Every structure is written in C-alpha cells, then in structure tokens.
Amino acid sequence: MTETAAPAGGPLTGLRVVELGTLLAGPFTGRLLGDLGAEIIKVEAPGKPDPIREWGKARYEGRSLWWPVQSRNKMCVTLNLREQRGQELLLRLVEHADVVTENFRPGTLERWGIGYDRMSEANPRVILARVSGYGQTGPYAERAGFASVSEAMGGLRHVNGYPGEAPPRMHLSLGDSLAGMFAAQGILAAIYERDVAGSGLGQVVDVSLMEASFAMLESTVPEYDRLGIVREPAGTNLAGIAPSNIFKSRDDLWMVIAANNDNLFRRLCDAMGRPELAGDTRFATHAARGENQEEIEGIVADWARERDAAEIDRVLNEAGVVCGPIYTVAEIFRDPQYASREMLVEHVDPEFGPYIGPGIVPKFSDTPGAVRWSGTWEHGSHNEEVYSGLLGLSDAELGRLREDGVI
C-alpha cells in the first residue's frame, strides 16, 4: 500500500491482490476490493477457466451475465498451479502482492507446495485470505462446502420461512456473499495491523461460509444459552416485534410497515386516524404489542387494504413511519433513489456492448470506487501485461510457457 492519500481511482488504489479460486465467495471478495480501486490479478487454470463464466441459465448474446460483473475491474491471467513452473511463477507474483485470496478446499495450496509458509518466505508482508466451507481447522475442515449448506448449518435456513414448512433458501448465494464481505473486512483489518499498528508482517485471514452465516444470528445464541429458546421461523414478521410486517394494499402490492417502538407506533396511529390505539393498554408498550401482535397487525392490515400502495407510502413516510414497498428488480430500475445514488451503473462488455450492473458500495466523499472495465472474456487477456509488464518475462519466455501449458 502507498502511504500517501489514494487518488481518484478509489481508496484502495495501490493495493495489489492476487485472486486464486473460482465461483463465488473468493472472487466476490476480489470484486469488492477491485470496486474500491485495488488491482486484482485473477488467476485461472489454462483450459479450465472459472466456471462462473458459464454459470446460470440466463444468456444474453450467448453469454452468462454472472461473469462480467463478478470479474469487473480484474486483470485475468492463466497459470497452471499444479505444475512446478506455475507454482514458481505464482510465488513471483506473490513477491509483488499485498494480498492473495483463495477459496479452495483446505489443504489444496499445501499439496501444491504453495501454502502460506512458501508465500510468506517469498513476501513476509503478504496477507493470505482463505475462504472455505468450514474454515481451515476443525473436524469439518476438509469437507466440500457450498453456500446452501453453510446457510443451513449456520442457522440461517432454520429461522427462514413459515412454521411447520420446509425452510426455504434465499434465491441467491447468500452464504458466499456474506463470506466474501467478511473476507474483505478481514483483509482490511490485516492491512491496518501490518501497516499502521506496526508489525509490518502479513498473516492468514481464515473465513468460513458457515461462520459467516452464523454471525448473522443476532440474539439467538444467548437466548438459547440462558433461556433455552430455539428461535423458530415466523413467516413475514418477527415474533413479538409489532407492528412490523408486510401488508397488502388495495392495488395488490406488498408494503413493509415497521412501527415497533413507542414513538413510531404513535406516529402510525395518528397517520391511520386512530390516535386512541397508542393509549390502549393492549398496544401502549413494546411488550404489550408483542403479546397482542396478531390483533394490532390485523388493524394495520385492514387500514392498508383500503388504500393503494402509493398512498400508503406517501402518508406513512410523511408521518415519519418506517414504510416501503417490496421491490422486484424491475421496480428497482425505476426507483429515483437508486438512480441518484448511482446504484445502476453502465458497464461496457467487450463482446456485447453496454449493460447495466450494480453500483459500488459503500460511497466515499473523496476517493470513490468505480467500474473501470467489465470482465473480459479472453482467457489470459492480461497475461502479457502481468507477466511481461510486472514480472519482466520476455516474449520468448511467454511463448515457451504457453507451449508447455504453464500459462
């Protein structure tokens, strides 16, 4: 990392990350760092690229739309990590890197002879972020892990859905994304420790998909420990937190209305033209409303059912009540808040041209992140730039490495 203020390319400009691994959690970590200006060198096996290039059923111009967003702002190189010369070349990249990320099954890098011991010999400052199903240690460490199982064993699936029904999954790879965010957080913390707190050395950041899901469980752990409570799914509400639910409008749209503290509840009562409810002993306190949740939410549902969604949204937000519609992605595209916050950003694909992808989170006042380029489709599209420009290999050396299947 540079010691001067980051230029306009983003707050992580000057940080170099070598990304190993495929699909979601590890590469999502790289995407988050790349969005904020880090230089990401993504390594793919020659002839066996990241499967996310073809992931999913939806196709546009014959291409999956996962890859170009997941791999935006990344320099793509090919490298055979199973070959000795490939391993040696990786360690040369490590010499120039701040961070390496990987999401192989634990032990894979060690079997290839490029574990953290070798990496830290090449560069004592390098940070290795390892993302796996269950972490690098423990009895489950060597199991294969996917987001679906991590969400299940991490406790998220059990509290999702409706009582007595099969616990559904989110129609997203939530566990992967959560792990990627924790990995990015851990990397930044390790950089702070290395460069500011003063050790000057790198370390391993060990992220488990299961633990990333588990970390979302709020008070369920002490509730079980002290009270023996096993939190169950509650459908569209939170048991004992009322009114806070979804309510259907007259024009058949679902609205979230959350007025579960005393001030918000008084505002809701006034907005509904029912100020007397705020003083009703059944509803006057948070605890009372929790005990009479079905009754108070039934009253709110009756009120909402007589009004269109636009009116509910306007009336309650003007009254300072927390309220908003449940959006589809189509409605997100029409929403002015998303537009004003630049959360729908044009990307330009090298093959099929412009398309809209998600914007950058979070926002920075002085050094904003950016989509500098969409993911490239050519395997090893940045081989020459990285291997010649960064490592100084000649054209002849690159040619021999290609012929031998090393890159």
Which residues are known to be catalytic? 176
- Token reading at 54: 């073809």
How far apart (Å, rounded) are the C-alpha atoms in residues 370 and 186?
22
The sheet with strand 244-248 has its strands ordered as: 244-248, 254-258, 322-325
The CA distances from residue 158 to 37, 152, 155, 242, 379, in Å, are: 38, 7, 6, 22, 41
Asked if residue 243 has a cis previous peptide bond (ω within 30° of 0), the answer is yes
Distances (CA, A) of 393 to 386, 397, 402: 9, 6, 12
Phi-psi region of 240 (alpha: psi -120 to 50; beta: other; left: phi over 0): left
Spatial CB neighbours of 33, under 8 Å, sequence gap ≥ 6? 12, 15, 17, 40, 99, 184, 187
Q: Which amino acid is at 217?
A: L
Structure tokens at 336: 């002015």
Q: Where are the beta strands (DSSP E) in 204-297?
A: 204-208, 244-248, 254-258
Per-residue CA distances from 240 to 290, 291, 396 (Å): 4, 7, 70
Give the ranges where 36-157 is alpha helix by DSSP (H): 66-70, 84-95, 108-111, 116-122, 147-153
- Between CA 207 and CA 189 the distance in angstroms is 13
The dihedral region occupied by 128, where left means phi > 0, alpha psi between -120 and 50, and beta the remainder, is beta
Cβ distance 246 to 324 under 8 Å?
no
Residue 105 CA neighbour count, 13 Å, CB half: 8
User: Which of 48, 15, 49, 44 lies closest to 32, judged by CA?
Assistant: 15
